[in-house]
Amino acid sequence: MNNFNLRKNVKFSVVSFFINIALIFISYRLIIEVGGLELVGLWATMMAWISLVRLGDVGMSNATLRFVALENIENSDGRLAIGKIIDTALLLNSIFFILLCVLAYFLINLFMIDTIEETYRGLADKLLPLMLGIFFSINISSVLFGCIQGMHYGYVSSKISVMTTSIQLILVIILVPKYELHGFAIAQIFQYLSAIIISWIFINKKLHRKIQIPIYFDFESLKKMLRFSAKAQAANIINGSFEPLSKILINKFSGLEIQGIYELAYKTVSMSRNAITAGVMASLPTITTLLGKDPGEGKILYKKIKMKLRLAAFSLILLLIISSPLISYLWIGSFNSLYCTFIIIIGCGFFFNTIGAPAYNLGTASAKMKYNIIINLLVITLLILLTLALNLMTSTYSVVTSVGISLAFGGILIRYMNEKYIIGNIS
């Protein structure tokens, strides 16, 4: 396992997420100061719409990580194969996301802007091109990070993330007080463009080739990546739709202020949780390689990850619930009982969801994603049906309660099914 830089990858990945938590905290605090919770709600709602564009994503990020991890960067043939993989993935992703962003611009303007409170529609219309630019940049940088992680240099992608996130933080402090959400958007675009440039330079250096534009489109690489990504992306798109769908439901049944409180509560729990599951994600290239070459060792690593994550998740969620009144004062500027209640509900859901994260990763690492797809569909269906049922009793808590129950259900079920389906077949 030491040959895969596993400890460094996990450590730096966790540090990177804590830096991101600090960024989100400071950014939203400034936005609340200059424009109130409604601006946070507007940002969350628009990002939820834009995130649905991922329905057209062909999944090159995960495919890149997987197939790069199976190549040996220490020899020339391996480097050549990796070069073909990353160039093909970048070219395909760039074309797809340009088309998707153009389509999203017209569809959101036609059908969704009118669902925003009238006071904020003009601002939403002006923000839309910038937010689509952020979305495009994120998806290009994710392919490059996938390549770096697949080469077992995940700690380098984390260092790049920390560096560029720090740049964004400085720009947020400068721009948000004057330009509000426009300043927040510009800071994010600058961060991801910087990450793209730095990552591309690093990849070319490791592949022993001059810095160049990605021109080596390879149909063989494309075919094998698409075969994998068809399954992986089906699971990821459904899974990635959970958060934006919950925000769309909040927008339907509540106003922008409730949306803002929900966004803060969800981010408090999910970002903190992601800081510990970052270690799980950082181990994905190693698990992928071991399951292909030494399944017994892969099983041992999985069990170690599962035990450590369970303790970390319990400690983290308990700390968040206890400290939620203090976080409310620091973030919102006063004690907000609704925020604290949302933390408890979402936190309990994420605890059970988190202990299922290593099992979910097993599906991606082994390319056996049947239950990843099925269970994600069940979770989305449960979220919608529970919301409609609970809304008859309480509109304020219907979506949030449904979110907590659905998250817990998904985590428990994926752990049981994937351990039985994948780990149970490893001797």
What whole-number distance in Å separates Cα of residue 366 and Cα of residue 418? 10
Running DSSP on this structure, what letter comes out for residue 1? -
| Average per-residue pLDDT for the chain | 84
Is residue 172 within 8 Å of 187, Cβ to Cβ? yes
Helices (H) and strands (E) in the chain, counts: 16, 0
Q: Which of 147, 5, 120, 179 is nearest to 62 (CA)?
A: 147
Write down the pTM of the prediction.
0.71
Residues 6+ positions from 80 with CB-CB distance below 8 Å: none
Q: Is 117 helix (H, G, I), strand (E, B) or coil?
A: coil
Q: What is the mean pLDDT of residues 121-146?
A: 91
Residues 6+ positions from 225 with CB-CB distance below 8 Å: 60, 63, 64, 67, 85, 88, 89
Angstrom distances, CA of residue 200 to CA of 84, 158, 302: 14, 14, 31
Q: What is the mean pLDDT of residues 332-353?
A: 92
Q: What is the mean pLDDT of residues 153-165?
A: 86
The pLDDT > 90 percentage for the chain reads 26
What whole-number distance in Å separates Cα of residue 51 and Cα of residue 33? 26
What whole-number distance in Å separates Cα of residue 250 and Cα of residue 383? 12
pLDDT score recorded for residue 396: 72
Q: Which residue type occupies 277?
A: T
Tens-digit pLDDT profile for residues 284-307: 777 777 776 777 777 788 788 888
Res. 274 pLDDT band, cuts 50 70 90: confident
What whole-number distance in Å separates Cα of residue 174 and Cα of residue 6? 37
Q: Which residue type occupies 374?
A: I
**pLDDT exceeds cutoff 50 at 1:** no
What is the phi-psi region of residue 336: left when phi exceeds 0, alpha when psi lies from -120 to 50, beta otherwise? beta
Is residue 175 within 8 Å of 190, Cβ to Cβ? no
Instruction: Give the containing element (helix H, strand E) for 6.
Output: helix 6-35
Q: Which of 320, 301, 328 is nearest to 426 (CA)?
A: 301
Q: Which residue has the higher pLDDT, 1 or 264?
A: 264
Q: Which of 134, 61, 73, 68 is nearest to 104 (CA)?
A: 134
Is residue 245 within 8 Å of 380, Cβ to Cβ? yes
Q: Which of 284, 280, 334 is nearest to 308 (CA)?
A: 280
